[in-house]
Amino acid sequence: MSNDTYPDFTPAPDDVVWDLPGEGPQRTSLLVLPHAGGNAHAYAEWRAHLPADVRLLIGQYPGRGARFAEDLPRTIGDLAGPVVASLPAGTTDDLVVLGHSMGSLVAFEVVRALQAAGRTPRALVASACRAPFLANPCAVHPERLDDDQLVAAIKERGGTDDGILDEPDLREIIIPSIRADFAIDDVYRCEESAARVDCPVTVIGGDADPVAPATTLGRWAQITDRPFDSYVLPGGHFYFQQRLPEFFAVLAPVVGGHLPARAAA
């Protein structure tokens, strides 16, 4: 795991991985890993855009939600390890792992860990992120920024409710986990020789994303010998927020099945 070690404890599994199944038998599981500073709440609305037979799983990182009292993460292993340990039984039989921004790197490490355990997922989807063997071209350096400067940097990227960032009491709660996540994202890099997965890879990004420029997304093809697909949608770093139907139309062939009518409308 890129010289990182997993924590030596496992929190309550349902606090680490939210389980939002659809109706009826669940054919496929989609595991979503949030962006730096993100949490599971931000992705819960995706349930309405997925087929009823796709089980939605969302990772919740330390320092937020029910895991607020835990130590803040220091390495990518602190983010990925508990997720791997907390996956509900049976979900790796037909699992697609998706991450957004830093979450793509967490997703990559989750796939590698499952692969090492003989439980390779069906596919990896990376959204708005550099390939894992590349150095971070847009490091935030949170250790150099005071809270106001860090908030400004977050707002520039988008993806976080500005009302939360502008409310002093709420900001005080979320800033530590944001600092921790960006510190991990700043320095993470997997050796190119080790950056390999044995499953198909799909990468999606925004055409105006300054953090993960569309021209760099193709580098993800180097981590697999399996099928690779790349898609670019209009928008910035959080391109999907204004284009969820188009985003899930791209995702649909990966998870299989058909979009529900309310998402396709």
pLDDT in tens, 6-57: 444 557 899 999 999 998 888 999 999 999 999 999 999 999 999 999 999 9
Q: What is the pTM of this model?
A: 0.91
- pLDDT tens-digit series, residues 201-223: 999 999 999 999 999 999 999 99
Question: For 118-132, 147-161, 180-194, 197-211, which range has the lowest pLDDT when averaged over its residues?
Answer: 147-161
172/148 Cα distance (integer angstroms): 11
237 is known as an active-site residue:
yes
101 is catalytic: yes
Under the banding of pLDDT at 50, 70 and 90, the label for residue 242 is: confident
- Strands 54-59 and 123-127: what pairing? unpaired
Cα 146 to chain centroid distance, Å, stands at 26
Of 2, 29, 101, 104, the active-site residue reads 101
Per the residue annotation, which of 35, 49, 100, 237 is the catalytic one?
Answer: 237
**Between residues 181 and 165, which one has the greater pLDDT?**
181
Q: Locate tokens 């590698």: which residue? A: 112
